[in-house]
């Protein structure tokens, strides 16, 4: 639901955890006056100069609760477009909780999810694609993801959509002229094919970035699989740059999968070490293998390891031949050993213990995660389902439009599909507003941003 | 029925043009004693400009006016002298009927209709002022040039181009509303005094000439459609003579003459301050603004059966008379032209229509309604559409009822009125189909389905009309049913070869083939052949364009969701925290009745709309305002 945009609100902007400092944000008309009831300093918060950080004491009656730093921002030049402040307090959980409850007591309402950004949108400080980008920046787990979200915050998507909309406006003008001035426009000229194709290509370019955008934001799950003792746990540790998994010469050491997180070229990768696949009578190991199958099924990518000193055996061939539904990267491990045989075609030669070939493997994982296409650096990535769905809706309408044009469908009918496409694009940037859009948009936001 | 014993009438309508006719008939027919005051009774229903009714979007308006219970369609049905369906190639939704009118016959029939109308008095005088109540907040009647006071609780203002009108031909100018008719002086000044924002607009008309001076062989003949179809849903068939028009083109010589004399144009010489219509420009505008166009079309149209005068459509001009004569004679077919009346420009007062509610009542003065060219529109049909809206809402106002506000998805009239009161206009406003978002829902053939029940509810349509509508709806349903049941037989394919590919399928399925029309199917099936043409064509559209219609309905649904979010009339715009200063000013001025209307105001941005929605939601949760 949409919350009242002018109540004073407060929320913790940093995680509720013990740390050196914590930041509480407040916003709303009159919030600075309200803060004066708690914050005692050289002068009241409401008279504080803007964009200046000053020391205050938070008092509950006569009791001094905490020494804080207060940054004051005034409407309209603040994040939300309203008077706001950031209180930097000591990061102890009892202090944070005490401050939050004091704020509530003097009239602040705990902010709902995304409410600060919602206010920024309502006050015209940003369009919807930028508001979504803010959310992504907060949630970004790698620098690359953060950089991409920042690019969106600068309005890169808005400008792409704007260009597409401009093309559609031009088409609409031509179509309407054909309808309202039939004598002046020839039948062949009612819809410019060149412009239509250009807009479709532009939007298709944006949708194809969706998957990549998602990959940077959400990351991928990569499982390391292979026969027992093919070096899966060694590779796992090597990729994680830490000794997480137990490594031994004994076949079947890893009985259950373990998970670690690593940043591969900006992509957050959840890496799974799994139990080696082999026939076994040991019920514990059999259970491990069953779990391995589950992990494999849930992974986006599988790195399949083969011990180069033993070569491909029937079991490997069997497993690799079976379609698994996920992308499989083949690695030829232990190439540092003298008994290593040469890598067959399609295998990446590595040594998990010496690190030979590891960069190649990691690059291959990153490339596959992005769908095999390297990232085109210029294109902004869309990564919200909402944007993707709306672009798909626009593309579907434009597809019908192009098809109708070829069939010689009348101008007034073509206009229906054109209107559909324009509506969808307008909803992306928020030029076309519905209450439903706002509700859906802001429901997924972090509190405090 | 009288509502006030101390009043002379229930309603006064000022002006006997196309808006005034519909307004006074609606009021009188609903049952209110009404007086029409106009400067010249013989000018009632006069067509100041082109001798035609209808056209793209305008034809739809005429049929909507008819569905509501208005007069325009019946007048043209009885006086047309040529009929065509325009835009046949641009699709089912934008086709529109247009007819050449016998001008004198049209005006005479309009006057006779008013004379014979019960509850209606017509009276010749010039209105110079309004009478207001002691608070100055409600209208109480009018004052005429000859000093008569006519007291009534409702006044409908439809002054056309007459309010402080001024005519221009080259260097010559004089007060006037139409060539040969005096302007209505004084009323514009009193409206300004009352605080209304009054602006100036300009429009123009071409020269008229004598038919005998034309050289028809040098022009193209434009033939009418073989069958004339009625505008009114109550007219069974048209039995009228049909007269052809001619088409010719301007030449480089025409353009040279105009360019060389452009400094003598009152428009280019700076004498006219009012803005002219971009959509219906004078020939001097066309030549100056589009220098690369080699020629412009000229339609030569008859003015009537009882006259030899013809109208030169497309060459409206206010250049000096000698220049007009020279450039016209440079057009093929017009070399020996004898001009009977010169073209001229007219500049007149209009009220900025954002000062009106969607009911067309002014926000400033209760009981005062404004319609037609006075609101900045151009065109007979646009005027008549506002006239009937103002008439109906004036009647509802007298009855103490809520006004009728037609939605943009329901009628072109809704689009027209919403555009005027929400966006205003700075040039003469003409309706285009492109102003409507949902054209497929606004086909002229469905005007009765959309609006006749409303006409019935306000008392302008009778049971007979309602029965006719039910018969039509039933007829369409029966055609659909027959199309679903009847299968394509081998014998059918022999007669209509396209059907070869559809043997064994239902007619309905076959009809989706773009190469097949319902007329071809109707010829094969007696049960279809008996249906009326309108039923067949509507059923055909439903079948052929099912997908488009469904998508359009989705769009309408989304659109109506915002229209349905009503804003209370006493909404506190100053209490709306967070909207931009510009948006607040606009919202306070327009006072939109729904979130949808608010979202269309220029200067109101999506975040402003979002804030408004939030605020309405919150108010809805709290106690109702007292």
Task: Please name the residues between 32 and 71 in chain A that touch chain B, using a CB distance below 8 Å.
Answer: none
- Chain A within 8 Å of B193 (Cβ-Cβ)? no
Best to test chain A binding among B513, B559, B582, B614 (most A CBs inside 10 Å) = B614
Residue pair B345/B285 in contact (Cβ under 8 Å)? The answer is: no
Q: Which residues of chain A have pLDDT under 50?
A: 1-2, 375-377, 438, 441-442, 444-449
The answer to whether B243 and B302 are in contact (CB under 8 A) is yes
Any B CB within 8 A of A282 CB? no
Residue of B nearest to A424 (CA): B555
Q: CB-CB: which of B434, B437, B562 is closest to A179?
A: B434
Chain A residues in contact with B93 (beta carbon < 8 A):
412-413
- Please tell me the total number of residues recorded for chain B in this structure: 626
Residue B141 CA to residue B149 CA, distance in Å, equals 7
pLDDT value, residue A447: 47
- Contact by Cβ (8 Å): B127, B16: no
Nearest chain A Cα distance for residue B85, angstroms = 12
Interchain proximity A176–B617, CB inside 8 Å:
no
CB contacts of A411 in chain B (<8 Å) are 90-91, 94
Tokens of B625: 């305002």
Dist. CA B325–CA B337, nearest whole Å: 8
- Left (φ > 0), alpha (ψ -120 to 50) or beta: where does B423 sit? alpha
Q: Which residues of B touch A407 (CB under 8 A)?
A: 514
| B552 contact partners, CB below 8 Å, separation of at least 6 | A416, B438, B440, B441
Chain A interface includes B90 (CB < 8 A): yes
| Nearest C-alpha in B relative to A175 | B434
CA B311, CA A11: separation in Å to the nearest integer?
A: 74
B493 neighbors B499 (Cβ within 8 angstroms) = yes
Task: Put the strands of the sheet holding B166-169 in their side by side order.
Answer: B172-175, B166-169, B344-351, B198-205
Residue B417 pLDDT:
98
Distance (Å) from the alpha carbon of B587 to chain A's nearest alpha carbon: 16
The CA distance from B567 to the nearest CA of chain A, in Å, is 15
Q: What is the mean pLDDT of each run of 10 residues along chain B (626 residues)?
A: 68 97 98 97 95 96 98 98 88 90 98 98 95 95 94 96 92 92 88 93 94 96 91 94 94 95 86 75 87 90 96 95 97 97 95 97 97 95 98 98 96 97 92 89 95 98 96 96 94 91 93 89 90 91 91 87 89 82 90 92 81 73 42
Nearest Cα neighbor of A310 from A228, A250, A233 is A228
* DSSP labels, A387-415: HHHHHHHHHHHHHHHHHHHHHT--HHHHH
Rounded-to-integer distance, Cα A322 and Cα B461, Å: 76
Q: Are B606 and A431 within 8 A, CB to CB?
A: yes
> What's the number of CA atoms in the CB half-sphere (13 Å) around residue B401?
11
**A328: three-class secondary structure by DSSP:** strand
Contact list in A for residue B92 (CB cut-off 8 A) is 410, 412-413
- Contact between B94 and A420 using a beta-carbon 8 Å cutoff: no
Q: Which two tokens stand for residue B397?
A: 């106002």
Which of A31, A122, A431 to probe the B interface (max B CBs under 10 A)? A122
**Set of chain A residues whose Cβ sits within 8 Å of the Cβ of B551:** 416-417, 420
Q: Could you tell me the two tokens for B548?
A: 């488009």
Torsion angle defined by CA atoms of residues B68, B70, B74 and B80, in that order, rounded to the nearest 10 degrees: -110
Angle at B221 between CA B219 and CA B223, to 5 degrees: 165
A396, A430, A435: best mutation site toward chain B, by most B Cβ within 10 Å?
A435
Cα A350 to Cα A256: distance, rounded to the nearest angstrom: 24
Q: Give the count of beta carbons closer than 10 Å to the beta carbon of residue B467.
A: 10
> Are B297 and A432 a contacting pair at CB < 8 A?
no
- Give the dihedral sign, CA A155/A160/A166/A172: negative
Nearest Cβ partner for B439 among A5, A81, A415: A415
Residues B454 and B380: their CA atoms lie apart, in Å, by 22
Closest A-chain CA to B92: A412
Question: Are B93 and A419 in contact (CB < 8 Å)?
Answer: no
Distance CA B171, CA B265 (A): 7
Q: Smallest Cα–Cα separation from B458: which of B398, B375, B372?
A: B398
Indicate yes or no: CB of B606 within 8 angstroms of CB of A432.
Answer: yes
Residue A412 in contact with partner chain B when CB distance is under 8 A: yes
Nearest CA in chain B to A177: B434
pLDDT at A448: 45
Mutate to test the interface with B, among A413, A417, A420, A438 (most CBs of B within 10 A): A413
Chain B hits for A417, CB-CB cut-off 8 Å, are 548, 551
B564: which chain A residues are within 8 Å (Cβ-Cβ)?
none
Q: Rounded to 5, what percent of chain A is helix, strand, coil?
A: 45, 20, 35
Report chain B residues whose CB lies below 8 A from the CB of A438.
610, 613
Residue B545 at interface with chain A, using a CB cutoff of 8 Å? yes
Best A179, A394, A431 member to test B by mutation, with max B CBs in 10 Å, is A179
| Phi/psi at A381 (5° precision) | -100, 135
CB < 8 Å to B441, chain A: none
Residue B611 near chain A (CB below 8 Å) = yes
Q: Are strands B208-210 and B198-205 parallel, antiparallel or unpaired?
A: unpaired
With CA atoms as reference, the chain A residue closest to B600 would be A432
Q: Helices (H), strands (E): how many in chain B?
A: 21, 21
Q: What is the pLDDT of residue A377?
A: 46
Rg of chain B in Å (alpha carbons): 26
Cα separation, A345 vs A320, in Å, equals 14
pTM above 0.80, yes or no: no
CB pair distance less than 8 Å for A419 and B561: no
């Amino acid at each position: 639901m949409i919350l009242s945009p002018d109540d004073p609100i407060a929320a913790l902007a940093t995680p509720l955890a013990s740390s050196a400092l914590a930041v509480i944000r407040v916003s709303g008309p009159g919030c600075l006056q309200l803060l004066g009831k708690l914050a005692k300093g050289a002068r009241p918060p409401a008279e504080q100069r803007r964009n200046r950080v000053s020391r205050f004491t938070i008092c509950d009656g006569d009791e001094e609760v905490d020494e804080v730093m207060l940054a004051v921002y005034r409407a309209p030049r603040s994040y939300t477009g309203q008077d706001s402040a950031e209180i930097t307090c000591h990061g102890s959980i009892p202090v944070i909780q005490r401050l939050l409850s004091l704020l509530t007591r003097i009239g602040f309402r705990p902010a709902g999810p995304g409410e600060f950004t919602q206010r920024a949108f309502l006050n015209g400080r940003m369009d919807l694609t930028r508001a979504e980008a803010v959310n992504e920046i907060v949630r970004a787990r790698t620098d690359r993801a953060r950089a991409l979200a920042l690019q969106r915050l600068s309005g890169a998507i808005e400008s792409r959509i704007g260009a597409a909309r401009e093309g559609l406006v031009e088409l609409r003008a031509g179509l309407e002229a054909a309808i309202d001035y039939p004598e002046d426009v020839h039948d062949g000229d009612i819809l410019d094919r060149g412009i239509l194709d250009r807009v479709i290509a532009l939007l298709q370019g944006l949708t194809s970035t969706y998957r990549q955008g998602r990959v940077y934001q959400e990351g991928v799950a990569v499982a390391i699989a292979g026969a027992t003792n093919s070096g899966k746990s060694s590779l796992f540790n090597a990729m994680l740059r830490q000794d997480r998994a137990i490594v031994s010469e004994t076949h079947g050491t890893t009985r259950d999968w373990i998970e670690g997180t690593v940043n591969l070229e900006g992509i957050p990768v959840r890496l799974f070490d799994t139990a080696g696949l082999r026939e076994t009578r040991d019920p514990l190991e059999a259970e491990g293998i069953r779990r391995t199958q589950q992990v494999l099924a849930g992974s986006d990518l599988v790195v399949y390891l083969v011990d180069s000193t033993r070569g491909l055996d029937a079991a490997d061939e069997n497993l690799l031949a079976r379609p698994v539904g996920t992308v499989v990267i083949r690695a030829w491990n232990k190439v540092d050993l003298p008994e290593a045989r040469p890598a067959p075609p399609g295998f990446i030669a590595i040594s998990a213990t010496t690190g030979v070939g590891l960069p190649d493997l990691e690059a291959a994982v990153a490339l596959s995660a992005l769908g095999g296409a390297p990232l085109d650096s210029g294109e902004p990535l869309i990564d919200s389902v909402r944007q993707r769905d709306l672009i798909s809706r626009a593309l579907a309408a434009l597809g019908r439009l192009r098809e109708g044009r070829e069939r010689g469908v009348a101008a007034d009918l073509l206009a229906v599909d054109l209107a559909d496409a324009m509506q969808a694009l307008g909803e992306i940037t928020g030029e076309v507003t519905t209450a439903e859009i706002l509700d859906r948009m802001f429901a997924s936001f972090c509190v405090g941003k | 029925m009288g509502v006030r014993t101390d009043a002379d009438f229930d309603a006064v309508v000022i002006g006997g043009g196309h808006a005034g006719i519909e307004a006074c008939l609606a009021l009188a027919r609903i049952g209110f004693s009404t007086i029409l005051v106009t400067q010249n009774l013989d000018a009632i229903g006069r067509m100041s400009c082109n001798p035609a009714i209808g056209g793209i979007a305008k034809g739809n308006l005429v049929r909507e006016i008819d569905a509501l219970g208005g007069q325009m369609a019946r007048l043209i049905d009885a006086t047309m002298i040529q009929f065509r369906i325009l835009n046949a190639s641009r699709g089912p939704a934008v086709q529109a009927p247009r007819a050449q009118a016998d001008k004198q016959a049209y005006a005479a029939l309009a006057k006779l209709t008013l004379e014979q109308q019960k509850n209606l008095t017509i009276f010749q005088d010039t209105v110079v002022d309004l009478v207001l109540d002691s608070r100055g907040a409600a209208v109480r009647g009018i004052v005429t040039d000859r000093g008569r006071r006519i007291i009534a609780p409702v006044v409908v203002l439809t002054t056309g181009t007459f309010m402080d009108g001024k005519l221009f031909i080259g260097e010559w100018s004089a007060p006037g509303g139409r060539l040969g008719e005096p302007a209505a002086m004084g009323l514009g000044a009193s409206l300004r005094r009352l605080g209304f924002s009054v602006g100036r607009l300009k429009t123009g008309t071409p020269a008229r000439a004598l038919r005998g001076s034309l050289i028809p062989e040098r022009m193209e003949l434009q033939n009418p459609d073989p069958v004339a179809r009625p505008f009114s849903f109550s007219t069974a068939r048209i039995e009228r003579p049909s007269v052809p028009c001619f088409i010719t083109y301007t030449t480089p010589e025409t353009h040279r003459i105009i360019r060389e004399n452009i400094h003598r144009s009152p428009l280019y010489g700076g004498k006219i301050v009012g803005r002219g219509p971009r959509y219906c420009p004078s020939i001097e505008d066309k030549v100056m603004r589009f220098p690369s166009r080699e020629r412009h079309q000229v339609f030569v149209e008859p003015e009537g059966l009882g006259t030899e005068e013809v109208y030169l459509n497309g060459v409206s001009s206010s250049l000096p008379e000698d220049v007009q004569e020279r450039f016209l004679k440079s057009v093929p077919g017009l070399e020996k032209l004898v001009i009977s009346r010169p073209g001229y420009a007219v500049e007149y007062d209009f009220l900025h229509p954002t000062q009106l509610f969607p009911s067309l009542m002014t926000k400033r003065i209760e009981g005062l309604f404004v319609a037609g060219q006075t609101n900045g529109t151009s065109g007979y049909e646009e005027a008549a559409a506002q006239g009937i809206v103002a008439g109906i809402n004036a009647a509802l106002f007298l009855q103490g009822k809520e006004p009728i506000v037609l939605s943009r998805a329901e009628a072109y009239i809704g689009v027209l009125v919403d555009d005027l009161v929400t966006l205003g206009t700075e040039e003469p406003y003409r309706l285009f189909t492109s102003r409507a978002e949902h054209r497929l829902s606004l086909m002229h053939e469905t005007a009765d389905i959309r609006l006749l029940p409303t006409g019935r509810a306000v008392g302008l349509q009778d049971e007979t009309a309602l029965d006719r509508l039910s018969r039509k709806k039933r007829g369409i349903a029966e055609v659909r049913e027959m199309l679903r049941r009847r299968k394509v037989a081998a014998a059918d394919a022999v007669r209509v070869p396209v059907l070869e590919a559809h043997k064994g399928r239902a007619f309905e399925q076959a009809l989706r083939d773009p190469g097949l029309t319902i007329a071809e199917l109707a010829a094969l099936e007696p049960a279809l052949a008996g249906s009326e043409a309108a039923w067949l064509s509507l059923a055909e559209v439903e079948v052929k364009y099912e997908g488009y219609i469904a998508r359009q309905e989705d769009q309408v649904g989304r659109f109506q969701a915002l229209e349905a979010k009503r804003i209370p009339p006493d909404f506190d715009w100053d209490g709306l925290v967070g909207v931009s200063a510009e948006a607040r000013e606009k919202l306070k001025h327009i006072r939109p009745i729904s979130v949808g209307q608010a979202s269309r105001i220029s200067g109101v941005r999506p975040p402003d709309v979002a804030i408004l929605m939030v605020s309405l939601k919150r108010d809805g949760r709290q106690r109702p305002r007292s």
